[in-house]
A and B are shown apart, each in its own frame.
Chain A
Amino acid sequence: MASIKPDPDWLIIKSFLAGNKNSFNELVNRHERSIYNLVYRMVGNSTDAADLTQEIFIHLYRKISSFRGESTFSTWLYRLAVNYSKDWLQKESRRVQTIEINETLLPDNGIGPSQLCEQREIQTLVQLAILELPEDQRLMVILHDLQGYDYKDIAGIVGVPVGTVKSRLARARLKLADKLAPYRNDMEKLTSK
Chain B
Amino acid sequence: MICKDVVGLLSAYIDGELSMEERAQVSFHLSACPNCQTQLAAIKNTIAMLQGLGELEVPPDVSSALRQIAIDRPVKIKLAKQRSLASYLRYLIPIAAVAAIALVSIWPQVNPSLTSKQNEVKSGGSRKPAAKSALPKYKALTQEEDIKEQAYDQTKEKADYPGRLKAGGAATESYGANATSGYNLEDKNSDAGTLRGYAPMPATELWPRVEATKNNYDSAAASRLLSKTKNETDGLYNIKYAKENRYGFVESLADQAYAKTGQSKLKDEIGKLLNQVKGLSLPVYLEKAKFNGNDCWLLIVRWGTGNDESGLNNASLYATDLSMRKIFYQTSN
Contact = CB atoms under 8 A, between A and B. Distances in A.
B47 interface: yes
A63 B69 CA distance: 13
Interface in A5-57: 21-22, 24-25, 28, 32-33, 36-37, 40-41, 46-48, 50-51, 53-55, 57
Interface string A73-112: 0000000000010010000000000001010111100000
Contacts of B20: none
A160 interface: no
Nearest to A60: B69
A151 B58 CA distance: 26
A14 B266 CA distance: 42
A20 to B, nearest CB: 10
Given A50-B62, A54-B76, A180 B46 contact: yes
A58 B75 CA distance: 7
Interface in A178-193: 180-181, 183-184, 187-188, 191
A174 interface: yes
Contacts of B52: 119, 122-123, 126, 187, 191
B74 interface: yes
A130 B50 CA distance: 9
A53 B63 CA distance: 9
The A contact surface, by secondary structure, is helix
B159 interface: no
Contact of B67 (A28, A40, A188): A28
A131 to B, nearest CB: 12
Interface string A119-137: 1001100110010000000
Contact of A24 (B70, B83, B138): B70
Interface in B38-76: 39, 42-43, 45-59, 61-63, 65-67, 69-71, 74-76
Interface string A155-188: 0000000000011011001101100110110011
A139 interface: no
Contact of A58 (B15, B59, B69): B69
A61 to B, nearest CB: 5
A144 B47 CA distance: 10
Contacts of A40: 56
Nearest to A148: B51
B50 A170 contact: no
Nearest to A176: B46
A169 B43 CA distance: 11
Interface stretch (B5-13, B174-182, B302-310): B5-13
A146 B51 CA distance: 6
Nearest to A106: B54
A156 to B, nearest CB: 15
Contact of B76 (A22, A55, A105, A180): A55
B166 interface: no
Contacts of B139: 55, 59, 84, 87
A144 B43 CA distance: 14
Contacts of B82: 46, 102
A61 B63 contact: no
Contacts of A70: none
Contact of A47 (B50, B55, B70, B132): B132
Nearest to A166: B12
A191 B137 CA distance: 43
Nearest to A35: B58
B59 to A, nearest CB: 6
B17 interface: yes
A160 B81 CA distance: 35
Given A37-B55, A170-B9, A51 B79 contact: yes
A167 B7 CA distance: 11
A35 to B, nearest CB: 9
Interface of B: 7-12, 15, 17, 39, 42-43, 45-59, 61-63, 65-67, 69-71, 74-77, 79, 81-83, 86, 131-132, 136-141, 145
